Structure 1
Amino acid sequence: MARTSQIDLFIYLEIILLQIFELPELVLFTSNRFTMVVAAGLVSSLAINHRLFPRMPHSMFLEYAYLDNQMDADSLSFQVKITEKSGFSEETGIPDCMTLLPTGKSLSYARDEAELVIFSTVSDLFKKNNIVPKSIDILIIDSSMVSPTPSLSAMVVNKFIMRSNIMTFNLSGMGCSSGILSVSLAKDLLRVRRNSLAIIVSTELLNVNRYIGKDPSMLLTNCLFRTRGAAILLSSRDQDKRKAKYELQHLVRTNRAKDDQSYNCVFQDVDSEMKLWVSISKDTVKVAGDALKTNIGSICRKMRIQSRLCALLHARF
């Protein structure tokens, strides 16, 4: 039986590390007295068949960039430097369409990639937890750069023939925070919908997001992202409490969009040649550090208040 733990700050750090380093398992959690069911697989080339997601070692990535013949020498040199410092292993994967020369880039390819990533993670989640699709009450999918019609959540409902009264949500444009924002949304929904199951699927689709140009701030995204996806199961059902691995006590959100430096640090725009992509500014590390500092301060205050309250109750009773 999995133990139930009270997770405050550490759940944030664990989720961040798992997504950055693409570990094969994602620890699951719930919100405010809502229990988490079992761990789900994180899709990567380590967890699935290489025939589905081709392996992309550094040498192959740079070779494809060179053979694509759409970048100048400075752009290639910049990508070599960033890739070598990225920390990615030689086992990370990419979608099939990005192994084409020239690189295939279309909404159709993006849908194929979405189906492969999302369907495999959700299917694996169902199997590992021995649940059926019709038992799911809430479905949330987040993907920053791809938001097609029909939506990604509608695609999952159609594939797994889910109930007609399921609540579905599709979050886009929220960057690296989208996974935690999805958890926050699920927390609020489970608070008002007792005895429910919720699934969150977090991914980023690469196909339509490959940048072929000369702007270094936009070339960064080619080097810092690989195919990945995670599906997690949250429950507010009493019968799931004993097998829950974690119970999330606090979830703190810090929104710094009012600050111009924060607002502009990751920005979708066109370059001088009118090529659309996302620019990552040199201020991003500072902005992220400031946001994390504020966020950790907020959650630590909650933890201190809780500790003091427990100490007071213990002294009195």
Structure 2
Amino acid sequence: MDTDGGDAVGVQIQQNRRLPDFLQSVNLKYVKLGYHYLVSNLFTLCFVPLITVISVEASRFNIDDLRQLWVHLQYNLVSVVICSAILVFGLTVYIMTRPTPVYLVDYACYRPPDELKAPYEKFMRHSRLQGDFDENSLEFQRKILERSGLGEETYVPEAMHFIPPRPSMAAAREEAEQVMYGALDNLFSNTNVNPKDIGVLVVNCSLFNPTPSLSAMIINKYKLRGNIRSFNLGGMGCSAGVIAIDLAKDMLQVNRNTYAVVVSTENITQNWYFGNKKSMLIPNCLFRVGGAAILLSNKSRDRRRAKYKLVHVVRTHKGADDKAFRCVYQEQDDDGKTGVSLSKDLMAIAGGALKTNITTLGPLVLPISEQLLFFASLVAKKLFNAKVKPYIPDFKLAFDHFCIHAGGRAVIDELEKNLQLLPVHVEASRMTLHRFGNTSSSSIWYELAYIESKGRMRRGNRVWQIAFGSGFKCNSAVWEAIRHVKPSRNSPWEDCIDRYPVKLLS
């Protein structure tokens, strides 16, 4: 028998069967694109005929008609004055009450020194030599590292490089100083802003909150002015960076013509877990050293040099639910060792928080075509009890770039699936997790820096930063690029962006 010929015919038949399916998918794609174009431009399509009719009618006006109109207005002077006064009053109220634009002038991410790198082999060797972990715990950490999506160049604090480790208050302060001052020095150097001009300072760090506060440490270091509005956010988890942006935005609404600096970081030195409870060992494998400093401005003249404009901030808090409240929980194990426990329900709770968040965010950012489809599916399900899945809006129509908190591989996978994103949309998140690990609230800024370093940020592009945190919270920030954005000096990706993206093991 001619098996080769039979196989060829079989392949040809299979290809012929696939061809209609392919053509159908292509047709549906263009039908959907046509629908979105039609609905999005419906107002324009209706407006053009109206303008045409008005133009034709206006062309019929002659000089006598204009004279009669002027005489009519003269005899109705009171009406004209009243209408003008109402118009002026309305414009004044609008100008006085509209939100002040908030611009992101620049930001800087901290790049730790190379001696703090912790490749897998070194991490596991130190864990074994510490003597705090049993064999089951060591094997568990090894598996987590292999599946985590972290690469070989992430960083852990200096105190964790000693055997035995040397966690202390002094070492924790040193880590905080290195990260915060390193990012701020870079930020002030790139923007040429005098620290004395900073009117608002917001610092967020979840697990390390010394006295004096971290914000006080920054004020002391840079000799900031005495009337600065300073805030220190603690215990708010990995989504605290967006909360800090929201607080700074609110402060810039009431403090005119000033700058706000947001510093987002986490401190690992005093929060390493030395026990054997598996749910508390996961943070050891994921969290790494990192931090970011962001300069915001409400000065109109800063628009010319700013990178982005803040468009929306949407915050969701699920703390009223007990399961959500305890899914990321700092506690002591049975041996009295402190750590952060991650619940097995974490992904389900994160999914619920995400659903609530995008339900609020969707109407603010999605085109009307997507909102109509979502509303139609909702009506069909509620009124007609139709057994149809709720329509998932296509957020790719609203955003050009996605900065998903690099909390772990599972988080990124879940959002890629649920939001129907393409690999390029989650590339920045995956590569940030690989290169820097989970840097908590600052991870979304390393991701934004990745997109800029790849030269993908164009004028008018919209960015969605989304982060999850203990409590449980899901917070979103939407930015719009004011210009074609290039990476700033001393970007964390400056010497390695050519190596990315790397291929990750499945």
* TM-score, normalised with respect to structure 1: 0.83
User: Are residues 1:155 and 2:217 paired?
Assistant: yes
Residue 103 of structure 1: CA displacement?
0.9
| Partner Cα distance (2:368, 2:248) in 1 | 23
Residue 150 of structure 1: CA displacement?
0.5
More helix per residue: 2
Cα distance change on mapping 1:166 and 1:56 into 2, 3 Å: same
User: Are residues 1:41 and 2:108 paired?
Assistant: yes
Cα distance change on mapping 1:179 and 1:307 into 2, 3 Å: farther
Query: Is the 1:145–1:173 contact (alpha carbons within 8 Å) kept by the matching residues of 2?
Result: yes
- Tell me the amino acid that sits aligned with residue 36 of structure 1: L
Match of 2:355 among 288, 293, 300: 293
| Partner Cα distance (1:124, 1:227) in 2 | 17
State the match for 1:231 in structure 2: 293
Aligned with 2:101: secondary structure?
coil
Query: Is the 2:108–2:184 contact (alpha carbons within 8 Å) kept by the matching residues of 1?
Result: no
Q: Which runs of 5+ in 2 are unaligned?
A: 1-98, 371-506
| Partner Cα distance (2:301, 2:245) in 1 | 21
- Tell me the amino acid that sits aligned with residue 252 of structure 2: L
| Partner Cα distance (1:274, 1:225) in 2 | 22
Q: Which runs of 5+ in 1 are unaligned?
A: 1-30, 309-317
Aligned with 1:79: secondary structure?
helix
User: Are residues 1:303 and 2:365 paired?
Assistant: yes
User: Are residues 1:50 and 2:114 paired?
Assistant: yes
- Tell me the amino acid that sits aligned with residue 33 of structure 1: P
Match of 1:260 among 319, 322, 327: 322
Higher relative contact order structure (alpha carbons within 8 Å, sequence separation ≥ 6): 1
Query: Is the 1:32–1:247 contact (alpha carbons within 8 Å) kept by the matching residues of 2?
Result: no
User: Are residues 1:122 and 2:122 paired?
Assistant: no
Residue 32 of structure 1: CA displacement?
6.3
| Partner Cα distance (1:246, 1:141) in 2 | 21
Query: Is the 1:32–1:248 contact (alpha carbons within 8 Å) kept by the matching residues of 2?
Result: no
Query: Is the 1:269–1:277 contact (alpha carbons within 8 Å) kept by the matching residues of 2?
Result: yes
The 10-residue stretch of structure 1 (241-250 or 124-133) with the greater mean CA deviation from structure 2: 241-250
State the match for 2:277 in structure 1: 215
Deviations 1:257-282 (A, max 9, x none): 00111101001111011111110111
Aligned with 2:331: secondary structure?
strand
Q: Which has the larger radius of gyration?
A: 2
| Partner Cα distance (1:285, 1:127) in 2 | 40
State the match for 1:99 in structure 2: 161
Match of 2:257 among 181, 187, 195: 195
State the match for 2:17 in structure 1: none
- Tell me the amino acid that sits aligned with residue 135 of structure 1: D
Aligned with 2:317: secondary structure?
coil
- Alpha-carbon RMSD: 1.7
Residue 304 of structure 1: CA displacement?
4.6
Residue 33 of structure 1: CA displacement?
1.9
| Partner Cα distance (2:200, 2:309) in 1 | 19
Query: Which 4+ residue blocks in structure 1 deviate beyond 3 angstroms?
Result: 304-308
Aligned length: 272
| Partner Cα distance (1:181, 1:306) in 2 | 28
Residue 50 of structure 1: CA displacement?
2.2
Aligned with 2:108: secondary structure?
strand
| Partner Cα distance (1:245, 1:117) in 2 | 23
| Partner Cα distance (1:62, 1:43) in 2 | 25
Residue 44 of structure 1: CA displacement?
3.0
Residue 34 of structure 1: CA displacement?
1.0
Residue 305 of structure 1: CA displacement?
8.4
| Partner Cα distance (2:301, 2:295) in 1 | 14
User: Are residues 1:64 and 2:64 paired?
Assistant: no
Residue 94 of structure 1: CA displacement?
1.5
State the match for 2:238 in structure 1: 176
Tell me the percent identity: 44
Deviations 1:105-145 (A, max 9, x none): 11111001101111110111000111111011111110100
Query: Is the 2:110–2:292 contact (alpha carbons within 8 Å) kept by the matching residues of 1?
Result: yes
State the match for 1:245 in structure 2: 307
* TM-score, normalised with respect to structure 2: 0.52
Aligned with 1:297: secondary structure?
helix
